[in-house]
Amino acid sequence: MAKVLVLGAGISGHTAAAFLKKKLGIKHQVVVVSPSAYYQWVPSNIWVGIGQMTVDQVRFKIETVYKRWGIEYKQAKAVSIHPEGTTETNRPFVTIEYVIGDKMGQTETVDYDFLVNATGPKLNFEATPGLGPKGYTTSVCSFDHAAHAWEELQKSLAKMEAGEHQTFLVGTGHALATCQGAAFEYILNIAFEIKKRNLQHLADLIWITNEYELGDFGMGGAFVKRGGYVTPTRVFAESILAEYGIRWIKRAGVNKIEPGIAHYENLAGEYLSQKFDFAMLIPGFAGAGIKAFDKNNQDITSVLFRPSGFMTVDADYSVKPFEDWAASDWPETYQNPTYDNIFASGIAFAPPHSMSKPMTTPNGTALFPSPPRTGMPSGVIGKVVALNIVERIQAGKKIEYKHKASMSRMAAACIVSAGYGFMSGKAATMTVSPIVPDWDKYPEWGRDINATVGEVGLAGHWIKLFLHYMFMHKAKGYPFWWLLPE
């Protein structure tokens, strides 16, 4: 019997665990360790943050699903990985710490034959003093953060109803933050709510971003086909914000938050500030902070993880100029090169380089978006990692993996909603193929221009609503879940 341990039950970890158990059946063991009792469909947290969905519409308790599937679940966090075991035994294991219940604070070791690190990111609010729900801004990165954001947003809306002007600041809260798309969607929904209440005259909406140009989204921007014309995503993004009366501050690295004031450095090296009444700023991401030790208990964290805390996989991490980086640098199987029974899935893997050109201010501050790895890519990677582990277990020996998921060949779709309702909402829909631009294969546009498109309209909003219910159906393991795409 083989034992597969999955760390994390987000989009990637949950997907990996589901396919591992479905393919391996009762002959093998699948264990999931996650500090959260819930699975959450993160893309819909936006609607929680705007009061259009409840927390329970975007989450469910994973223990019930795992019991039905025959997966062992432990509500705990991973503390350390011991890929060589100890001097007494060669059996690899992970030390975990329980986060709730009678065992809270207690540690335990969980051995494994194969390990999938799908811990996702640490929301690194601490990197920007004053940032986050414990500081002076809100977040929509988790369902509880989104619920808090809605509470705070309602206060501003109530003040506007009473005739008081409000300034809304939404965007990235760190010079290297990613997930611009989530913030972009949130500010459009705030604008929709304000317009619905006829309060535009009392609102100042500001988009603040570390992007060099709007529409970069951490992918180096893109060219999309729209209405038969090729349009840069800069124009696509600017036109949408302008339509909703949103002004923008770009090339800005937020570095400190005080009550009602966001301080930032721009690419020119100027230190500026922006006042706000309500702010939702996405934090920078870091690895989960797991340590690693060899059989002699010597620290080998740098062997398993990059300095960022994300796991080293089959990517090219060599140091070279941005212009020399290539699509082929990106990983395909997400296997650690030192320990071939360890994989990193979803956000947990370390990207080899940014897709956006690295920029530095005259003061030496790195200022550019980090690569996105959320949503669709995370699900696809989780499935591919699971299928390769399954086939290796079934073969009983090392094999050449046939399932691959390089982001330089993977397409992705993003739907940015604006409003909620069967007839009142609309969305900007964008697909890119591939996610990582490949200038060797597509020298003119960097991507397949026939598969990289953008549209705005009510149909995209219907698709967004449909996908919410489809992916919740899939995640809950309802009939034929495995037939639905990642």
Q: Note the pTM of the prediction, 2 decimals.
A: 0.95
Q: What is the tens place of the pLDDT at every residue in 1-21?
A: 999 999 999 999 999 999 999
DSSP code at position 482: G
Cβ burial, residue 453 (10 Å; 0-12/13-18/19+) = middle
Query: Which amino acid type is present at position 66?
Result: Y
Q: So what's the pLDDT on residue 236?
A: 84
Q: What percent of the chain has pLDDT over 90?
A: 83
Is a pLDDT exceeding 80 seen at residue 131? yes
Average pLDDT over residues 30-52: 95
For 7, residues 6+ apart whose C-beta sits below 8 A from its C-beta are 13, 33, 34, 78, 94, 115, 116, 117, 118, 119, 290, 348
CA–CA distance, 204 with 29 (Å, rounded to integer): 55
CATH class of 3-123+286-395: alpha beta
On average, the pLDDT of the chain sits at: 93
CA–CA distance, 394 with 397 (Å, rounded to integer): 8
Cα 191 to Cα 169, 418, 468: the distances in Å are: 12, 8, 22
Contact between residue 247 and residue 119 where contact means Cβ atoms under 8 Å apart: no
Cα 140 to Cα 132, 280, 285, 336, 456: the distances in Å are: 10, 8, 14, 31, 23
Is a pLDDT exceeding 70 seen at residue 152? yes
Q: So what's the pLDDT on residue 255?
A: 98
Domain boundaries, the chain: 3-123+286-395
For 307, residues 6+ apart whose C-beta sits below 8 A from its C-beta are none
Q: So what's the pLDDT on residue 423?
A: 63
Q: What percent of the chain has pLDDT over 70?
A: 98
Q: What is the tens place of the pLDDT at every residue in 85-121?
A: 999 988 999 999 999 888 899 999 999 999 999 999 9
Outline where DSSP puts E strands in 250-312. Answer: 252-258, 261-266, 271-275, 278-282, 284-286, 291-292
Give the rounded distance of the alpha carbon of 440 from its chain centre.
Answer: 27
The first and second tokens of residue 113, run together, are 């034959």
Query: Which amino acid type is present at position 463?
Result: I
3-state SS assignment for residue 382: helix
Q: So what's the pLDDT on residue 413?
A: 81
Contact between residue 192 and residue 168 where contact means Cβ atoms under 8 Å apart: no
CA–CA distance, 433 with 449 (Å, rounded to integer): 8
Q: So what's the pLDDT on residue 412?
A: 85
Q: So what's the pLDDT on residue 424?
A: 65
Q: So what's the pLDDT on residue 376?
A: 86
Is a pLDDT exceeding 70 seen at residue 420? no
Q: What is the tens place of the pLDDT at every residue in 232-251?
A: 889 888 988 999 999 999 99
Q: What is the tens place of the pLDDT at every residue in 261-317?
A: 999 999 999 999 999 999 999 999 999 999 999 999 999 999 999 999 999 999 999
Q: So what's the pLDDT on residue 187?
A: 96
The first and second tokens of residue 283, run together, are 């934090």
Average pLDDT over residues 201-207: 98
The first and second tokens of residue 45, run together, are 């947290």
What is the edge-to-edge ordering of all strands in the sheet holding 229-232?
229-232, 223-226, 453-457, 426-432, 412-418
CA–CA distance, 269 with 304 (Å, rounded to integer): 35
Confidence of residue 425 (pLDDT cuts 50, 70, 90): low
Q: So what's the pLDDT on residue 455?
A: 72
Q: So what's the pLDDT on residue 415?
A: 78
Q: Which of 380, 377, 403, 381 has the alpha carbon at shortest distance from 390?
A: 403
Q: How do strand 3-7 and strand 29-34 relate by DSSP bridges? A: parallel
Q: What is the tens place of the pLDDT at every residue in 428-476?
A: 777 889 999 999 999 998 999 988 887 776 666 778 888 899 999 999 9
